[in-house]
Amino acid sequence: MSTTAPPTVVIVGGGFSGLLTAIHLLHAASHVGVSLVERAPRLGRGRAYSTSDPGHLLNVRAANMSAFPDRPQHFVDWLGKGADAGDRFVSRAQYGDYLQALLRGTLQSPTARGRLRLEQDEVVSLRRNGRGLQVDLALGRSLRADAVVLAAGLFPAPPLCGVSPAAAAHPHYVADPWTCDLAGLPLGRVLLLGTGLTMVDVALALGGEHRPLTAISRRGLAPRPHGCAPPADPPRGLPAPPSLALRILRDHARRTGWRSAVDSIRALTPELWRSWPLTERRRFLRHLRPWWDVHRHRMAPAVASRIAALQERGLLEVRAARLEALEPAGDGFTALIRPRSSRRSERLRCSAVVDCSGMSGDPLHDPSGLLPDLVSRGLAAADPLGLGLAVDAELRLLDGAGRPTPGLYAVGPLSRAACWEALAVPDLRAHAARAARTILADLEASPERMRSLQKGL
């Protein structure tokens, strides 16, 4: 009997993508061990599902939220709330409970018991050690790995242009609404920088008679609500450059309805994205992304109704404007904003400011220093558009020369540069399953590993 240790996979990040990748690995191979490293106290929830606010709902119907692509009813069966459960938009906290239940089930499973290790820590460096990898943790320990999966998610973005250092350091400036007690902000007008889904969450938590809200973004676009969307076939003519693709989609929307039109190209989106050269991707991000995001990432109907009520009562104003400057002024701030299509700026006094522009996918913003270090050593490459890491079609990490880095993989938002759709559960669950298949195939393809396994068996 060989004493060679069984292969071990270390997963960096214990949110949705990391947890699902671990579950797929454990269920698909009886000889692989997994170490899941997450600095947060609760694994599986990530930022999205850690909220305790019952008004923060999923923006996808329960029927499309199964964690497993081959078991579409899994989440609905877990809910067990009657025949209409699949059409409901349940709370994100409840979905977090579902992910925690998956974790408990895996830990207790006879086939996976003892092969999953949970590490509440942070990975700070990664390097070769013989034929394997050494994963160094912040608290001083090191883990041995045959493969490492980077599932770190998104990172805090730097302050927006126009925000002075003094404003960014002000106690009533909220750079990350997910790590702040919003209820502790002072009364009075609150300026929200961004008008997407993060703004919606913050507005639901803050909006009221004593805290009127002003939300600004370059185009002043807010997410559209979910509604009836009968299935439609995708339009002809795709892939195509962004401007032509937009015309095709608009024509399709006139015939089928915009919701059905957007849904119809979901399966084509990765191919469409990969067909565009860098210049076309950059043009899409600059000019068309805001329109795509508000139609693609929608609000649950109940959430849309609450946002509309705030607007009707004058408690939420969504404006197309650009922030030119933000400076502290007494206990609050003075903001200089330029309305779209206007030559004149306006001054706005506010008691607090919340950055709702969203998180960054740029690996160079990783506060742990792990990803910037990998990029600086040429073991990984950052997407030039700041969308994540360079990966191949099977989610292997690519080095600075565009070649796969042996033993390194990326899942979740870090893979967005390769496929664009890497934020929603229906896409991430497929990525996790694909990454697990790729890792196991690569481990088996290693001659040294195969010989070790064969002797051990």
What pLDDT, on the 0 to 100 scale, is given for residue 248?
Answer: 95
Q: Give yes or no on whether 8-56+91-156+361-456 and 165-223+299-355 have one common fold.
A: yes
b/e per residue, 72-92, with b = 16+ CB within 10 A?
A: eebbbebbeeeeebbebbbbb
Q: In the block, which residue shows the tokens 């590993």? A: 449
List the domain boundaries for the chain. 8-56+91-156+361-456, 165-223+299-355, 242-296
| Angle 164-172-335 from CA coordinates, rounded to 5° | 45
Q: How far apart are CA 113 and CA 135, in angstroms?
A: 23
Q: From 3.50.50.60, 3.40.50.20, 3.40.47.10, 3.30.1360.120, which CATH number describes the 165-223+299-355 domain? A: 3.50.50.60
What pLDDT, on the 0 to 100 scale, is given for residue 456?
Answer: 33
| Angle 410-414-416 from CA coordinates, rounded to 5° | 110
Q: Is the Cβ–Cβ distance between 206 and 280 less than 8 Å?
A: no
Q: How far apart are CA 274 and CA 243, in angstroms?
A: 16
What pLDDT, on the 0 to 100 scale, is given for residue 455?
Answer: 36
**Averaged in consecutive runs of 10 residues, what is the pLDDT profile of the chain (457 residues)?**
70 92 90 91 76 84 89 91 79 90 87 87 90 91 95 86 95 90 92 95 90 96 92 92 92 94 91 93 92 92 95 96 95 96 93 92 89 93 92 92 92 90 85 93 70 35
Furthest C-alpha separation in the chain: 79
10 Å Cβ neighbour count for 53? Answer: 13
Q: What is the CATH number assigned to the segment(s) 8-56+91-156+361-456?
A: 3.50.50.60
